[in-house]
Chain A
Amino acid sequence: MENTVIQTNKLTKQFIKWRGLSSPRHPFEKKIFTAVRDVNIEVRRGEIFGLLGPNGAGKTTLTKMMCTLILPSSGSATIAGYDLVRQQEKVKASIALVSSEERSFYWRLTGRQNLEFFAALRGISREKAARRIPEVLDQVGITEAANRRFQEYSTGMKQRLGLARGLLADPEIFFMDEPTKGLDPLATKHIHDFIRENLAARGKTVFLATHHLAEAEHVCDRVGIMYDGEMKAHGQVDELVGDFTLADYFHDIISESTVEH
């Protein structure tokens, strides 16, 4: 389907954990841990897809896998029409990853210097970067802070700089891993509005991992519910929950899974 920009087919990630010194008798015995199991997702162009799940569900692992940072153990995926494993460079050129990771910038450099560096890595020419950086700073509303060091930024400003970095190359798909983690309600709202008005409205596809029910409910067109490495359900928010709230639905899924064990 031409309009499908993210498609995964039984995407799976297993981590090998060596028992090591925690089990001195068998230090070389390995334990296989499945962080993501047989996940099938389809996200259409311009859609905001929410990946909802509690901590440890495997959201970050799945997101990083789709950004080429972690190699899948099995299964396959196409991102923006490119094969996730065989066409990594093309995949990377089509996406941006915005995470809640404050550590992904140089703290001693200014916001602008950080953006200049990452613009070069994105392959943006010097002239284009000189035009583009003020634009994205303005879009996320931190123009006045551009020449201050990143270490002086508030959590909200750091998050916005993360968004600005994602916007630099104006890619087709935005992966966001808990982009509102640690933000106050106002800053959270700012990010939510931004996703709707500046990304979705311009036809960008957003893949948003979150453990906030309200976030998924308010911002996303469709959600997938992940628990224990598996995609338990997905669909449009109102379809999924019917007369219930998403919270009830979420609880049901989690308690069902727990009973199964």
Chain B
Amino acid sequence: MLRKPLAFLKKDFLMEISYRFSFVLQFASIFFSVVLFYFVGQLLGEAPSVQRSISEYGGDYFSFVLIGIAFQNFLSVGLGSFSNNIRAEQMIGTLEAMLVSPTRLPTIVLSSSQWSFAFTSIRVGAYLLLGGLFFGVSFGGARVLPALTALVLTVVAFSSLGIISASFIMIFKKGDPIAWAISTSSTLLGGVYYPITILPDWLQIASYAFPITYALRAIRLSLLQGQGFSQVGGDLGALVIFSAITLPISLLIFRFAVRRAKRDGSLAYY
């Protein structure tokens, strides 16, 4: 059962480390962005207005933003990895070779993104580890289970949007407006770099349309403030509802896109 997914994981891992320099560079850039925000945090550090606006999360800007930038990676990978990886296989020319094997397209699409998610988890771990070990972020009271639940729900919610985006790529080959719009609005409105409470009221209301808002709040509260299911339950519920609506829709759209591409004879084109 797992033979095919594991083969993808191995293949993508081998490809990743074959670009040794880029592999190392990715971790270097994590280090530099952590350092960068550490100093921004120093600058904002004691300002009462900053502390007030993020008091809900403990009042330390660096801890606040570290979680934001780390978990934003899951937004990018959920939204982008399905379409990027399918497009990469189309461009390399291997998609057709996969499709003549007795392997279903959904298996191919899901499996080809596993490594992206695994690698992202490693990178997010690196952010948190650096912050905790060297830059004084305290995860002492962190509640791991609610945070992990939020994480899984977030990945599902973002992925269903990403699958819709992959359907676009399948048919139009590029220029996917959905992922771009969602990713830009999420970064702007979802509270990655600043709490949504500093936004004007109407933008705050808009921010509740994006799953990242609930995801970041739940993860911050459980990791930084040690809050449990009872406190973050509302956010988790919102993520569940979001996924319950978008996941079936995305799978339907994807099925349609595959049929369409087979009819156009364009599965292997880019």
A138 at interface, CB cutoff 8 A: no
B4 at interface, CB cutoff 8 A: yes
A109 at interface, CB cutoff 8 A: yes
**Residues of chain A in range 19-35 having any CB-CB distance to chain B below 8 Å:** none
B264 and A15 contact, CB distance less than 8 A: yes
**Residues of chain A in range 64-95 having any CB-CB distance to chain B below 8 Å:** 64, 67-71, 73, 89-90, 92-93, 95
Neighbouring A residues of B8 by C-beta, 8 Å: 117
Neighbouring B residues of A70 by C-beta, 8 Å: 262, 265, 267
Interface of A, helix, strand, loop or mixed by DSSP: mixed
Interface of B, helix, strand, loop or mixed by DSSP: helix
- Given contacts A67-B100, A95-B100, whether A109 and B14 have CB atoms under 8 Å apart is yes
Stretch at the interface among A44-52, A119-127, A139-147: A119-127
Pick from B14, B97, B102: contact of A123, CB under 8 Å: B102
| Per-residue B-contact encoding for A124-138, CB less than 8 Å = 1, 0 else | 011000000000000
Residue of A nearest to B5 (CB): A120
Q: How far is the CB of A28 from chain B (nearest CB, A)?
A: 15
A230 at interface, CB cutoff 8 A: no
B56 at interface, CB cutoff 8 A: no
- On chain A, the number of residues with a Cβ less than 8 Å from chain B's Cβ atoms is 38
- Given contacts A117-B11, A121-B7, A122-B102, whether A108 and B18 have CB atoms under 8 Å apart is yes
B49 at interface, CB cutoff 8 A: no
A199 at interface, CB cutoff 8 A: no
Neighbouring B residues of A15 by C-beta, 8 Å: 264-265
Docked complex Cα distance between A165 and B8 (Å)? 17
B43 at interface, CB cutoff 8 A: no
| Per-residue A-contact encoding for B228-250, CB less than 8 Å = 1, 0 else | 00000000000000000000000
- On chain B, the number of residues with a Cβ less than 8 Å from chain A's Cβ atoms is 30
A103 at interface, CB cutoff 8 A: yes
Neighbouring B residues of A68 by C-beta, 8 Å: 99-100
| Per-residue A-contact encoding for B245-270, CB less than 8 Å = 1, 0 else | 00000000000000100111101100
B15 at interface, CB cutoff 8 A: yes
B15 and A106 contact, CB distance less than 8 A: yes
Pick from B93, B102, B263: contact of A103, CB under 8 Å: B93
Neighbouring B residues of A37 by C-beta, 8 Å: none
Docked complex Cα distance between A41 and B102 (Å)? 24
Docked complex Cα distance between A89 and B99 (Å)? 10
A172 at interface, CB cutoff 8 A: no
Pick from A64, A67, A103: contact of B92, CB under 8 Å: A103
- Given contacts A15-B264, A103-B92, A106-B92, whether A69 and B15 have CB atoms under 8 Å apart is no
Docked complex Cα distance between A102 and B96 (Å)? 12
Pick from B10, B18, B96: contact of A69, CB under 8 Å: B96
Docked complex Cα distance between A101 and B268 (Å)? 11
A120 and B4 contact, CB distance less than 8 A: yes
Q: A106-B15, A108-B14, A121-B98 are in contact. List 14 more A-B contacts (CB 8 A).
A: A15-B264, A64-B265, A67-B100, A68-B99, A69-B262, A71-B259, A71-B262, A89-B102, A101-B93, A108-B19, A113-B14, A116-B7, A118-B101, A122-B101
20 A-B residue pairs with CB within 8 Å: A64-B265, A69-B268, A70-B262, A71-B262, A71-B263, A73-B263, A90-B102, A97-B96, A101-B93, A106-B15, A116-B10, A117-B8, A117-B10, A118-B101, A120-B6, A120-B7, A121-B98, A121-B102, A121-B103, A165-B97
